[in-house]
Amino acid sequence: MAYLKEIYAKMGVENDPPDSYFEADSRYLLLERTLKSVPSGNFCDLGCGRGLLIRRLQGHHESYGTDFDPGAVEYCRSQGLRAQTIDLNEASELPFPNVSFDVILISEVLEHLLAPRNAIRVAKKHLKSGGTLVVTVPNAVPLFARLKLFFGQTVNWLHYPSPETDTTGHIRFYTVESMSRLLREEGFVVETVSGVSFRTNGTFWRRMCYWPPRLLGIRDKAIGAKMDLWFAQRMPGLAAGLFFACKKP
């Protein structure tokens, strides 16, 4: 795990998006929309990084966060955020005694874990009955990967280790079906499945998200992300990212 610590420490600084991501990125757009649709309560982001989401949601939820990277957690605390360091591969409890949560987020985390089931079980343990678990992961077989596989090409996105996974730290790979099954096996009711980040499938899709709205005179700053989400919701199995909203019975 030593090399993963180095990767995550680097990612914690480099992947620190600004608030404008909530208008520019379909994953952040959908996450904020979903998390704010849950009535105000206690919210925990498992894998909070430098605290963008818990900071953004403070006005709606009592927000908490955890992360594997001590540097990210230290930064969160310096900003007045409630955050603790945790290894979701091994933890049996969340480090917030006597707090149960109405909504827990595990976003872009499970693909990095040796023990993803453990993270889901810890989340379930600390969710209230009827609470919401939101999960996002990369899709193992988005459109661009399927096209390469069809022509017998190597897809580094799918292989560990590879130059791409050495950079991203991805060691687990999921599809709509496999993640849905995992969540159901751990006792959750999967209510919503969506794609995100469809436009990362290639230049054609990026242009489809950008040009048609502008040719129609639409000047909404978030229109590119909304178009991206529109395509991804209609073809989730081909999107580069996957989104799941679940309930604890």
Asked if residue 163 belongs to a domain, the reply is no
Asked if residue 166 belongs to a domain, the reply is no
Asked if residue 162 belongs to a domain, the reply is no
Task: Reduce the DSSP state of residue 29 to 3 states and report it.
Answer: helix
Nearest alpha carbon to residue 39 among 137, 131, 117, 118: 131
Distance CA 88, CA 229 (A): 29
Report how many helices (DSSP H) and strands (DSSP E) the chain contains, helices first: 11, 7
Tell me if 100 sits within 8 A of 119, measured CB to CB.
Answer: no
Asked if residue 225 belongs to a domain, the reply is yes
176-205 CB burial, b ≥16 within 10 A, e <16? beebbebbeebebebeebbbbbbbbbeeeb
- Structural domain count of the chain: 1
Where residue 45 sits, what CATH number does that domain have? 3.40.50.150
Tell me if 66 sits within 8 A of 45, measured CB to CB.
Answer: yes
Asked if residue 156 belongs to a domain, the reply is no
- pLDDT per residue, tens digit, the chain (249 aa), is 555 666 666 665 556 677 888 888 999 999 999 999 999 999 999 999 999 999 999 999 999 999 999 999 999 999 999 999 999 999 999 999 999 999 999 999 999 999 999 999 999 999 999 999 999 999 999 999 999 999 999 888 888 888 888 788 889 999 999 999 999 999 999 999 999 999 999 999 999 998 888 888 888 888 999 999 999 999 999 999 999 999 999
